């Protein structure tokens, strides 16, 4: 097997009070996916289709919800090109709803990415970044009303769906709360590399997939 | 409601090449559990039954599998008393199988804890720390044979079970691979605070529980 696989870059946004599983679930799925099945293939990146890293406003440590301390790999100003942008949620999204630097960064990166995805209340940020205009979307069950009110106030014309594990609107995919990000990430793996690769990755992490 | 809830401390062991979801899953469950249901109760620690922190040999940054950089809250020498010790897995466990400092720390902390739990190949470390002697246990499906061989070589008399999501052996609970740690953690919440609290925590993180 040749070693010329061009890995897709996955940039995961971090911010203060980001929900841990919102970013750790997709991080796990994308970083442990392999085109070659089995345990041994996980010992190297040879058949890894994704290169995953974290990005934040600066590279200073981030304190996630519950107190987990994470060091971002890159800042807004020095990260590599991002093919797949992951925007997680958490209570920390609330103060970012009016943070133009973050919203513009999301909009700019998304415009050059193949795909932009959100987990949980990350959908609120995609909405404010104008990335969900005219599309179907979902979020954490506890934030459906908030998403709808932001939608209506900003005339984004989003069709807000509840009771969906994730909503695939083409270039933008949104998921329900927290652990639903794992299913969304596996769905993206399936879209890009097929069901066998996604199912085998789920088997590796002993996750039973949910589609809705 | 009074504010005198005595929180149980949850110490999560970190080490180089620890599997991300192995520690992030239990971190999420224990740090987001609340005795008062709903969204609002998650905005404070008032009804939080657990106080969760990470511990490593030193407080230097840990590079987890896939490259996630985490800063431990405490080192082996300065952490608070641990009521519930969580030992995650990952390829990083292999070099710890002969690391006496780590094995002794696990054994010592466990002897003063109410409960010791492992996720995935964390069970290999519990075995080497002599904590599973004579008990039933499980691990990641890809490490069942390795656990059995360590068991037999060390005459630990463990009954190794496969096809179990988690195995509750009283003061020690082991789980299967990676995402099974979420189910194990919810099981611990249920054991300590009842099914309603565990189910509500699962609902909050939109996780559908698996019991086997």
pLDDT value of residue A2: 46
Chain B residues with CB inside 8 Å of A27's CB? Answer: 20, 66, 68
pLDDT value of residue A140: 97
Mean pLDDT of chain A: 96
CA distance B141 to chain A (A): 8
**Span between the terminal Cα atoms of chain B, in Å:** 37
pLDDT value of residue B202: 97
Chain B residues with CB inside 8 Å of A140's CB? Answer: 206
Residue percentage of chain A with pLDDT more than 70: 98
Structure tokens at B131: 């904590």
State pTM to two decimals.
Answer: 0.96
B160 burial (CB, 10 Å; 0-12 / 13-18 / 19+) is buried
Q: Is the pLDDT of residue A135 over 60?
A: yes
pLDDT value of residue B2: 46
**Spatial strand order in the sheet of B50-56:** B74-75, B50-56, B8-13, B84-87, B115-118, B172-175, B166-168
pLDDT value of residue A6: 86
HEC readout, chain A: CCCCCCCEEEEEECCCCCCHHHHHHHHHHHHHCCCCCCCHHHHCCCCCCEEEEEEECCCCCEECHHHCEEECCEECCCCCCCCEEEECCCCCHHHHCCCHHHHHHHHHHHHHCCEEEECCCHHHHHHHCCCCCCCEECCCHHHHHHHHHHHHHCCCCCEECCCCCEEECCCEEEECCCCHHHHHHHHHHHHHHCHHHHHHHHHHCCCCCCCC
Instruction: Tell me which residue in B28, B70, B204 faces A70 most closely, judged by beta carbons.
Output: B70
pLDDT value of residue B160: 98
pLDDT value of residue B4: 55
Residues of B that are catalytic: 120
- The answer to whether the CB atoms of B67 and A52 lie below 8 A apart is yes
- Dump pLDDT digits (tens) for A42-98: 999 999 999 999 999 999 999 999 999 999 999 999 999 999 999 999 999 999 999
pLDDT value of residue B24: 98
Q: How confident is the model at residue A4 (pLDDT cuts 50, 70, 90)?
A: low
Rounded CA gap, B94 and B102, in Å?
A: 12
Give B65's DSSP letter: G
- Dump pLDDT digits (tens) for A9-35: 999 999 999 999 999 999 999 999 999
Tokens 């940039």, located at residue: A11
Instruction: Tell me which residue in A42, A52, A206 faces B179 most closely, judged by beta carbons.
Output: A206
> At B175, which helix (H) or strand (E)?
strand B172-175
pLDDT value of residue A115: 98
Rounded CA gap, B100 and B109, in Å?
A: 14
- Dump pLDDT digits (tens) for A155-172: 999 999 999 999 999 999
Q: Which residues of chain B have pLDDT under 70?
A: 1-5
Chain A residues with CB inside 8 Å of B69's CB? Answer: 54, 70-73
| Domain with residues A8-204, CATH architecture | 3-Layer(aba) Sandwich (3.40)
Q: Where are the domains of chain A?
A: 8-204
CA distance B24 to chain A (A): 6
């Amino acid at each position: 097997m040749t070693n010329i696989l061009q890995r897709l870059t996955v940039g995961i946004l971090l911010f203060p009070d980001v929900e841990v599983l919102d970013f750790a679930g997709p991080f796990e799925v994308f970083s442990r996916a392999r085109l070659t099945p089995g345990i041994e293939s996980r010992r190297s990146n040879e058949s890894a289709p994704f290169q995953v890293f974290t990005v934040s406003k600066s590279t200073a440590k981030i304190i996630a919800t519950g107190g987990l301390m994470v060091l971002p790999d890159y800042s807004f100003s020095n990260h590599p090109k991002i093919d797949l942008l992951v925007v997680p949620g958490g209570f920390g999204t609330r103060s970012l709803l009016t943070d133009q630097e973050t919203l513009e960064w999301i909009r700019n990166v998304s415009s050059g990415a193949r795909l932009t995805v959100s987990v949980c209340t990350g959908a609120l940020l995609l909405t404010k970044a104008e990335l969900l205009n005219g599309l179907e979307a979902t979020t954490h069950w506890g934030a459906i009303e908030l998403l709808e009110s932001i939608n209506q106030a900003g005339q984004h014309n989003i069709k807000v769906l509840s009771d969906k594990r994730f909503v695939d609107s083409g270039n933008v995919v949104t998921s329900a709360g927290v652990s639903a990000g794992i299913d969304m990430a596996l769905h993206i793996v399936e879209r890009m590399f097929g069901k066998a690769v996604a199912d085998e990755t789920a088997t590796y992490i002993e996750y039973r997939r949910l589609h809705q």
